[in-house]
Structure 1
Amino acid sequence: MNPMRALRQYQKVNSHAQVSEASPHRLIQMLMEGGLERLAQAKGAMARGDIPQKGLLLTKAIDIITGLRQGLDETKAEDPATIQRLAALYDYMNVRLLKANASNDPEIIDEVARLLITVKEGWDAIAPQ
């Protein structure tokens, strides 16, 4: 058996196990981590000139950010305006990633990564005890 294939299979099984056991709070953290990972990988693909891979990875990052946005529920929030601002930030991130893809601009990927890191740091700080 190919060792790389075995490793990928293990990682897939391991990540499925993590997801099935994760709290809703942890699932959001995992989505944010996955988004940051895809952004870093897309930037690497961009640097290598691997345009198809860059497009695929940026699309995955956009899908993750879209999922985070769709998970927002202002009806359950103490301050619905905060949720609306976060939704607008996620929308902005996706617009910027589309621009990064079209213009091959790694600085835009860095901008979105910084924004997502800031949101993740806030989310991590409210971890359930």
Structure 2
Amino acid sequence: MSYGIKAYKSVGVKNDLAVADPHRVIQLLMQGSLENMALAKGAIERKDFVVKSKSVSKAMTIIAALQNSLDMAAGGEVSENLWSLYDFMVNHLMQASRESSIAKIDDVMEIMLKIKSAWDQISVADREKGFALLAEKNGQANLATA
């Protein structure tokens, strides 16, 4: 049963990513980091250090992907602040993994939840403006209408 649920969720996420706009992709990445941090916390409680390491590593990889997706030229101070937060989060997760610290994972989850909450509140109109700017930057007019 557990395998079936995992397979279903995996296919669901892959399908969601295949048709997702850039805003939704970021939402999915943030959610994936939170899910992996939750898995790491459970693994620490069970003293399952293999799962802890894998889950923390996945969360760190996702956060690094979020960091690398920032448009530093266009994002200005907001991008700089997010870059610093993501950097802090990755470093804090490394410490959490070394120390098997649920509290440090909770710290990172709290930050990610605040970032995700703000991201989720971006209006459809503002998303469309962002897509149009991205399309213009990339020379792809069709992205703005996707």
- Which consecutive residues of structure 2, in runs of 5 or more, have no partner in the other structure? 126-146
Matched letter for residue 14 of structure 2: H
RMSD: 1.3
1:83 to 79, 99, 105: 79
- Asked whether the equivalents of residues 93 and 112 of structure 1 are also in contact (C-alpha less than 8 Å), the reply is yes
% identical equivalent positions = 34
Cα-to-partner distance string for 1:20-78 (whole Å, 9 max, x where unaligned): 1111101100100110000011000000000111011000000000000000012222x
What SS is found at the alignment partner of 2:70? Answer: coil
- 1:124 maps to 120
Q: In the alignment, what sits opposite 1:73?
A: 71
Contact 1:43 / 1:106 at 8 angstroms: preserved in 2? yes
TM-score w.r.t. structure 2 length?
0.81
C-alpha contact 1:39 1:58 (8 A) present in aligned 2: yes
Q: How does 1:18-57 map to 2 (within 5 A)?
A: 18-57=16-55
TM-score, normalised to structure 1, is 0.91
Name the count of aligned residue pairs. 125
Q: Which has the larger radius of gyration?
A: 2
The alignment partner of 1:119 has SS state of: helix
Point out where structure 1 has 5 or more consecutive residues left out of the alignment: none
